[in-house]
Amino acid sequence: MSSVFEEALGADFQRLHPQMRRRFGVGLDAAEACTGRGVMTSIRRGPWWTVPFLQIGRLRNILVPDVGTDVPFTIENYPYRDRYGRETVTFVRTYTTKPGRTARFDATMVLVDGRVLDYLGSHQHLAVDLDLTVDDRGGLVLTSGAQRFYEGPIAFRFPMLFSGRATLHESWSDDDQAFHVDLEVHNRVFGFLFGYRGTFTCEWTPATDAPERLKPRRTELRT
């Protein structure tokens, strides 16, 4: 099986820059992990009233309430097979927001009916549909769609009025030999909620499993 992203993009996967193809080709067949290290030149949030929502998200590694410039970060992409037998890729971001203080944003991605499904947080409470397109630079554009909340017997479609739609652009630059990432989350009524912009470089290591520290504490089967 090709990677989760290659399966979802189909022929468009070949339109990605070669460095992007390697990065998003992380999977069990490729048998390697990708670890990126770099700097977020800016981490921003919306008005003051967004802070309580971001603080709640911090409890389950879903959102980052801190802001800052030139924030060191890592992103760890490891392939593994989850307890239900699905090929999964970790997207765990760790930010050093202040000396001795870190914040984490966890995501794990699986392929469902030809589309990428993004489980957010340490307990996979949110399942988010992702739309993928390739831009003219050979970069990848990820746009979040419908969101569903799962906790024990509770399951419901999360109202977009109380959430946001994320758009992430990631690309490779031959000029500085680095990956560039730009994310913004907007609410259709309240506007800008959260965003970051940064650059990083990657190293690849052999891997067919993810370290336990990167896996969710609870695995959700519902999609």
**How much is the pTM?**
0.92
Give, for all 223 residues of the chain, the pLDDT tens digit.
Answer: 689 999 999 999 999 999 999 999 999 999 999 999 999 999 998 776 666 566 555 556 676 667 889 999 999 999 999 999 999 999 999 999 888 888 899 999 999 999 999 999 999 988 999 999 999 999 999 999 999 989 889 898 877 766 788 999 999 999 999 999 999 998 888 788 889 999 999 999 999 999 999 999 999 999 9
pLDDT for the residue 91: 97
What is the fold, at CATH topology level, of the domain defined by 4-214? Lipocalin (2.40.128)
Q: Hey, what amino acid is at 184? A: E
pLDDT for the residue 67: 82
pLDDT for the residue 152: 87
- State the CB neighbour count (10 A cutoff) for residue 67: 16
141, exposed or middle or buried, with CB in 10 Å at 0-12, 13-18, 19+?
Answer: middle
